[in-house]
């Protein structure tokens, strides 16, 4: 079921959005050569506690997961791109790190992701991240009342194609509200002018993610971490946005 939020409810969603944005900023600042992924998870955990927020991940156990997630953050490094389970790994020079974080405050969820390079970036990785960011911006620009869901998807896919990237359609964006994953699914490619008509009050996470040279993925034995099938690196960016009568509100915008 697709739920629409009232303007008052969207105001109530802002604290979670601001909090999730602050955690993503803190993680991006902390990510450096010599920092362990478990330290990043601990930082997010501490911020959740200090803010009186609730993690969306720690007890998360969908059908594809081998067991409850057990951490508050996804950390995906290099050829890992989605759902990376934080583990004992120390970031090294040239790594590409994607963090994905969702939490709720007062019962409202926000969800955001960001890729960063660690130490000296490989220019190819920086270009991949920049392309994902352009795709996110293009998707958000289409998130307007009266447009259709396919307009968002097509805008993302067009940016990918222009950069010679192929798009995986298994995982994409989603409705956000009282829970982390609701309807509608927001694919990272599609046909403009098709699909659900966008109405004010629809709150969705838009989350393009791309791999350098493939759109095929494989799961780690942990049941969570998703990697490229060919070992090429991936980038992932995400914002939770609310559709209004005018410009969309980017709830997880970083200051």
How far apart (Å, rounded) are the C-alpha atoms in residues 135 and 112?
Answer: 15
Q: Is 189 in the site for Mg ion (CB under 5 A)?
A: no
Which residues from 205-244 bind Mg ion, rule CB under 5 A? 238
Count of residues that bind Mg ion according to CB under 5 A? 4
How near is the Cβ of 149 to Mg ion at its closest, in Å?
A: 18
How near is the Cβ of 207 to Mg ion at its closest, in Å?
A: 6
How far apart (Å, rounded) are the C-alpha atoms in residues 130 and 133?
Answer: 5
How far apart (Å, rounded) are the C-alpha atoms in residues 156 and 190?
Answer: 9
Of 102 and 165, the one with the shorter C-beta distance to Mg ion is 102
> Which of 60, 105, 98, 66 shows the shortest CA–CA distance to 81?
98
Q: Is 100 in the site for Mg ion (CB under 5 A)?
A: yes
Among the listed ranges 35-43, 98-106, 160-168, 239-247, the one in contact with Mg ion (CB under 5 A) is: 98-106
Of 173 and 195, the one with the shorter C-beta distance to Mg ion is 173
Q: Is 111 in the site for Mg ion (CB under 5 A)?
A: yes
Q: Is 125 in the site for Mg ion (CB under 5 A)?
A: no
How near is the Cβ of 112 to Mg ion at its closest, in Å?
A: 6
Residue 131 phi, psi (nearest 5): -65, -45
**CA 184, 65, 112, 17 torsion-angle sign:** positive
Among the listed ranges 14-22, 47-55, 75-83, 104-112, the one in contact with Mg ion (CB under 5 A) is: 104-112
Q: Is 41 in the site for Mg ion (CB under 5 A)?
A: no
Q: Does residue 182 contact residue 203 with C-beta atoms inside 8 Å?
A: no
How near is the Cβ of 173 to Mg ion at its closest, in Å?
A: 9
Among the listed ranges 20-28, 30-38, 99-107, 148-156, the one in contact with Mg ion (CB under 5 A) is: 99-107
How near is the Cβ of 56 to Mg ion at its closest, in Å?
A: 9
Q: By the criterion CB under 5 A, which residues form the site for Mg ion?
A: 100, 111, 113, 238
């Amino acid at each position: 079921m697709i739920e629409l939020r009232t303007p008052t409810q969207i105001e109530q969603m802002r604290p979670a959005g601001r909090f999730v944005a602050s955690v993503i900023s803190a993680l991006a600042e902390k990510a450096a050569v010599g920092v362990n992924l478990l330290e990043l998870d601990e930082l997010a955990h501490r911020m959740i506690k200090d803010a009186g927020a609730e993690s969306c991940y720690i007890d998360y156990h969908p059908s594809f997961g081998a067991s409850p997630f057990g951490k508050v953050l996804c950390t995906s490094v290099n050829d890992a791109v989605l759902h990376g389970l934080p583990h004992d790994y120390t970031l090294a020079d040239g790594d590409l790190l994607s963090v994905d974080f969702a939490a709720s405050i007062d019962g409202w969820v926000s969800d955001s992701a960001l890729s960063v390079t660690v130490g000296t970036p490989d220019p190819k990785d920086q270009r991949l991240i920049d392309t994902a960011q352009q795709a996110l911006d293009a998707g958000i620009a289409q998130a307007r009342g009266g447009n259709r869901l396919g307009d968002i998807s097509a805008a993302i896919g067009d940016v990918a194609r222009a950069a010679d990237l192929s798009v995986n359609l298994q995982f994409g964006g989603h409705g956000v509200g009282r829970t982390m994953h609701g309807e509608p699914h927001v694919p990272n490619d599609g046909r403009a002018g098709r699909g659900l008509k966008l109405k004010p009050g629809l709150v969705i996470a838009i989350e393009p993610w791309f791999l350098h040279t493939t759109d095929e993925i494989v799961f780690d034995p942990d049941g969570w971490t998703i990697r490229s099938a060919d070992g090429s690196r991936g980038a992932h960016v995400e914002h939770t946005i609310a559709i209004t009568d005018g410009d969309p509100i980017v709830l997880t915008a970083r200051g």
